[in-house]
Amino acid sequence: MTSEPQNNNIRLMRPLILLTALLHAASAFAANWSEILGPSKAEIPLPTGNVVWRRDVNAALDEAKRDNKPLFVTLRCLPCKQCSAFDKEVLEGGADLTPLLSRFVTVRLTNAAAMDLRLFPVEGFQDLDLSWWGYLLSPEGKLYSVFGGRDHVSDATRISKDALMATLFRVLQHHYDPRRASWNIDGAAPDLGDPPKTPRELPGYTAWYKKLHPNEKKAGSCIHCHQVNDILRTPAVEAKTFDKFRDVEIWPLPENVGLTLDRDDGLLVNAVTANSPASRAGIKPGDRLGAASGRRLFGQTDFRGVMHRGPRDAGSMDVVWLRDGQVMEGELSVPAGWRKTSLDWRMSISQGVIGCYPGFFPLSVSVSKRQQLGLSANTMAIEPYMGSATNSAPYRAGLRGRDVVTAVNGVSTNLTGRAFLVWFRQQYDAGDRVTLSVRSQGKTKDVTYQLSETDH
């Protein structure tokens, strides 16, 4: 079952949104990709000097229109550690990056609550489990490209300074090409006549905010990026139409269709898996992706965005690539289940509105303690950290921090940390009863309690 928005206005707008998308797709499908992806006729202006990071998006749009410059808007969640090193690299610039950045009207936002969703369509174009993201826009607010991304390995395996520079240069070539307007592939400009729409205006905001822990409410006006995911999902979670497995198959990797892309180039194909959708489409190592599903690609993130918005089950996506300067076209035919990726690192799942928190954070047990208890390497061994939450359901049922949890309702899977939380939330909801098998001071015991939404 898929998630369905509960807002009547959104439901009534769907036919118009669908018609607009179909018209744009039809226009893009008929695009002359040989011309668009061929040699650029852009005359890119010279660098202007230092980079100034603005904070007012609307004023930046006015400046971009005046000077006919593209915009580069970064979104950075300051409290989060991930992506902090990359954020520092971008802010410092350098002899190679600064000349590119100076050709853009640059804006820096540090609070997801300030995102104007008319300009930043986060639901389809931004992986909200990240704490750094970049949007590249036309002076009218049309979305050229997005930049950002990570995977279960680290926050540096999908992006780099070189990858950003490659994306920035491709956007400059596109923006300043005199033929761009006639190509009509950038989508419609957003209607900025109405007041800005922020995450607080989303249908799920009020219900989500009510369930926040008091300490989170004290944090003030800041909304983390992963919390925007929570807000978007809340209406379907409340209506019990959210599928905790299908609806979290988000932001597939290029490897899901058989492609390994060069991180620093973003679009260069390093390897193709045999008998994969990419292989059957005709893509080969050394090719460079150019467009997919009607959108021009400027980096790996754009391709991942196309896949994210792509088929939920079996289906297809058209793809365009370059080989030795020649444009080639094909179709990525994907099977059911093609979207699956590792979810263990995603805070919007391990600490979000999906399922229920077990009432403790699952710390790993040392190897020596595991051996002392006679637990094999493949069985569960969790030290439950509850802090000062002595009124939590598991604490009242008899669980203590010195205990070791070896199974949940008879299931003993060797998971700890966020990986355990993701597994637990996908298995259980508030109101469910769970029985923990526990080793405590040389004895075994069962701890049974009912899951509650108040045990954050």
* 61: three-class secondary structure by DSSP: helix
* Distance, CA of 44 to CA of 51 (rounded, Å): 17
Strand 71-76, strand 105-109: pairing: parallel
Long-range contacts of 364-369 (CB under 8 A, 24+ apart): 364/416, 364/417, 365/404, 365/416, 369/404
- Are the CB atoms for 387 and 399 separated by under 8 Å? no
pLDDT computed for residue 405 by the predictor: 97
**Alpha-carbon span 139 to 69, nearest angstrom:** 6
- Work out the percent of the chain whose per-residue pLDDT is above 70: 92
The owner of tokens 């379907």 is: 236
Residues in the chain: 456
Question: Would the pLDDT of 3 be above 50?
Answer: no
* Residue 196 scores a pLDDT above 80: yes
Looking at mean pLDDT, say which of 15-24, 126-135, 216-225 comes out highest: 126-135
User: Which residue's entry shows tokens 């790993």?
Assistant: 364
Residue 177 has pLDDT above 60, yes or no: yes
Give percent helix, percent strand, percent coil of the chain, each to the nearest 5: 35, 20, 50
Other beta carbons within 10 angstroms of residue 439's beta carbon come to: 20
Burial of 142 (0-12, 13-18, 19+ CB in 10 A): middle
Averaged pLDDT of the chain = 90
Q: What is the mean pLDDT of residues 424-440?
A: 96
Q: Given a cut of 90, is residue 385 above it in pLDDT?
A: yes
What three-state secondary structure class fits 252? coil
Q: Is the pLDDT of residue 319 over 50?
A: yes
Give the pLDDT mean for 445-449. 97
Beta bridge partners of 197: none
Q: According to the model, what pLDDT value does residue 206 have?
A: 93
Which tokens go with 336? 């059911």
Say yes or no to pLDDT of 389 above 80.
Answer: no
pLDDT at 25: 47
pLDDT value for 218: 58
108: how many CB neighbours lie within 10 A of its CB?
16
Q: Which DSSP category does 45 fall into?
A: P
Closest by CA position to 290, among listed 269, 264, 312, 319? 319
Q: Does 398 have pLDDT greater than 70?
A: yes
* pTM for the full predicted model: 0.90
266, 163 in Cβ contact below 8 A? yes
Residue 406 to residue 365: CA distance in whole angstroms: 11
> How much is the average pLDDT of 67-71?
97
Using CA atoms, how far apart are residues 350 and 357, in angstroms rounded to an integer? 8
pLDDT score recorded for residue 12: 33
State mean pLDDT over 382-401: 91
Q: Count other Cβ atoms within 10 Å, centred on residue 443.
A: 7
Strands 433-440 and 71-76, by their bridges, are: unpaired
What band does 360 get if pLDDT is binned at 50, 70 and 90? very high
Give start and end residues of each alpha helix (H) in 143-185: 161-175, 180-183
Return the closest-CA partner of residue 401 out of 409, 417, 413, 389. 389
Which domains does the chain show, CATH number per domain? Answer: 8-199 (3.40.30.10), 254-334 (2.30.42.10), 355-450 (2.30.42.60)
**Which residue's entry shows tokens 């444009």?**
327
Instruction: For CA atoms 32, 37, 41, 46, give the dihedral sign.
Output: positive
Reported as a pLDDT band with limits 50, 70 and 90, residue 10 is: very low
CA proximity to 383, closest of 402, 370, 369: 402
- Report the DSSP beta bridge partners of residue 260: 271
- What is the Cα–Cα distance from 404 to 437, expressed in whole angstroms? 8
147 backbone dihedrals φ, ψ, rounded to 5°:
-140, 135
CA dist., res. 5 & res. 11, Å (int)? 7
Taking only the tens place, the pLDDT of each residue in 252-298 is 999 999 999 999 999 999 999 999 999 999 999 999 999 999 999 99
Between 187 and 336, name the one with better pLDDT. Answer: 336
Residue 8, pLDDT > 80, answer: no
What pLDDT does 214 receive?
73
Q: What is the pLDDT of residue 221?
A: 67
* Residue whose C-alpha is closest to residue 152's, from 82, 224, 78: 82
Nearest-angstrom CA–CA distance, 97 and 108: 16
Select from 186, 143, 108, 255 the least CA-distant residue to 263. 255
Query: pLDDT > 90: what percent of the chain?
Result: 79
Range with the poorest average pLDDT among 250-254, 373-377, 421-425: 373-377
Segment 27-53 shows an average pLDDT of 89
Whether pLDDT at 1 is above 60: no
Q: What is the mean pLDDT of residues 185-199?
A: 90
Residue 176 CA from chain centroid, whole number: 29
pLDDT of residue 377: 87
pLDDT at 28 over 50: no
Are 131 and 77 a contacting pair, CB within 8 Å?
A: yes
